Structure 1
Amino acid sequence: MVTQRILVSGRVQGVGYRDWVVRTAQRTGLTGWVRNVRDGRVEIFVSGDDETVAKLVEGCHEGSPLARVEHVEAYSAEGEKQTKGFTKRFTA
């Protein structure tokens, strides 16, 4: 089990990116959340098995069809509070 925080920058707000993350995470059994950040990025907090989380991080480089991802930064969030299910949260 691994927990990561992912920050995605580029044209990722208002293009269905968060919905894509939610669908992908729920389909693959990941837990966590996704939200917009006021600076224009999308933040993802995700937990699951190593391989599935790695596939999500890899997929974040593409995201939704209308997104134009410029940068994906993923780092360990071990020790942070786990969640149940996968949800979309309000902007931080």
Structure 2
Amino acid sequence: MKSLHCVVTGNVDSGSFLAWVHDQAAALSLTGWVRKLETGKVEVLAQGDEEGANKLRTLLKQGSALSGILEMKADWIDYEKSYDRFEMR
């Protein structure tokens, strides 16, 4: 399934940033997941409407009010699994 894969770097390793990403994705009716990596970066896989995924991409570049985004890398990938909701891992 065509999916948006993002890795966000900066002041993003708090649980509040993960919750913020979850809420933004759910509001855009996207499915997939968000998780914190051991490096302190945050990884996001979003599936659904391409317009909604592009909106999430823009939001991730800006970050939440409490985060400080240094870098956000995003690519469209073909992911073998599809999801029925957006989850925090």
- Across the aligned residues of Structure 1 and Structure 2, the Cα RMSD in angstroms comes to 1.4
TM-score, with structure 1 as normaliser: 0.89
Task: From the two aligned structures, give the one with the greater helix fraction.
Answer: 2
Question: Where do residues 1-92 of structure 1 align in structure 2 (5 Å cutoff)?
Answer: 2-14=2-14, 16-89=16-89
Q: Distance in 2 between matches of 1:77 and 1:68?
A: 26
Distance in 2 between the 1:15 and 1:81 partners? 25
State the shift of 1:27 in Å: 1.1
Q: Is the 8 A contact 2:12 2:67 kept in 1?
A: yes
Aligned residue-pair number: 89
Structure 1 stretches of 4+ with a deviation exceeding 3 A read none
The alpha-carbon deviation at position 38 of structure 1 amounts to: 0.5
Could you tell me the percent identity over the aligned residues? Answer: 33
Which letter maps to 1:42? Answer: V
Where does structure 1 lack aligned partners over 5 or more consecutive residues?
none
TM-score when scaled to structure 2?
0.92
